[in-house]
Amino acid sequence: MWFVLVAADAAQIVNVTSELVLSADSPATLECVVRANPVHVAGLVTWYRVTHPDVQLAGATAEVLAGSMLTSTLVIGRVSRGDVGLYRCVAFNGLGVPVNATVNVVVRALRAYLSLTCGDNTTTTTTTTKLMLMTTISSGGSRNWW
């Protein structure tokens, strides 16, 4: 009688997008690379917003890279202020415990108005000019201007 032993390993996250700093209306691509054996595509990696841990995000794709490696990709078509925050990928293949990693999404927004009033005692002229200021909105809600 012959027995074949197959090694099985719990899922491990080996790489994840760490932080994305994007302009508003840009696409965002979040990736989570997992090593697991068995590596089955359906349900191995799930994505969540950290602020809503019970709501699984739809639309993620998964692809087996080679052997026991898989990459899961979550794409946000056009980021906006509402997309700012932490996203979590969770990997679990039925062995061990689920493992997770987070991705921070930061959105840069543009502000654009400057009004100048110039004049002397007899005439006054008001001009509105576009001025490009950039702000970064982070997951904590803080803003940095430059």
Say if CB 23 and CB 108 are below 8 A apart: yes
Q: How far apart are CA 65 and CA 44, in angstroms?
A: 14
Mean pLDDT score across all residues of the chain: 80
The two structure tokens encoding residue 17: 């997008």
Q: Among the listed ranges 3-7, 11-15, 129-133, which one has the minimum average pLDDT value?
A: 129-133
Tens digit of each residue's pLDDT (9 = 90 or more) over 33-68: 999 988 876 789 999 999 998 999 998 998 888 888
Burial (Cβ within 10 Å: 0-12, 13-18, ≥19) of residue 12? middle
CATH superfamily, region 9-107: Immunoglobulins (2.60.40.10)
pLDDT tens for 95-131 read 889 999 999 999 987 554 545 455 566 655 555 444 4
pTM: predicted TM-score of the whole model, two decimal places = 0.72
